[in-house]
Amino acid sequence: MDSFVIANGERVAVKLPCTIEEFLLERNFFPKGVVVEHNGEAVSPSEFKKRIINEGDKLEIVKVVAGG
């Protein structure tokens, strides 16, 4: 049975337990190409494999864009 988190303001189904990295890859985000805030706290990319997402958590995911 799926659980839900809020990602970028939208309710999203997710199979838990799940790490941030697993969540990103499931949704075709390249982990090194995004900045993630988990429950209001910025998360270092080195923590994506360790940080567990729980039911009802809030994620803000922003793609990093290079250019000038």
pLDDT, position 3: 94
pLDDT band at 66 (very low <50, low <70, confident <90, very high): confident
φ, ψ (nearest 5 deg) of residue 47: -95, -10
H/E element, 12: strand 10-14
50 CB-near residues (< 8 Å, 6+ apart): 19
- Joined tokens for residue 59: 């994620």
H helices of 13-68, in order, are 20-26
Distance separating alpha carbons of residues 28 and 40, to the nearest angstrom: 22
Domain residues for the domain of 44 are: 3-63
Residue 47 lies in a domain: yes
pLDDT at 18: 95
Would 13 be classed as within a structural domain? yes
Q: Output the pTM of the full model.
A: 0.90
Q: What is the pLDDT of residues 19-60, one digit of tens each?
A: 999 999 999 999 999 999 999 999 999 999 999 999 999 999
Q: What is the CATH number of the domain that holds 39?
A: 3.10.20.30
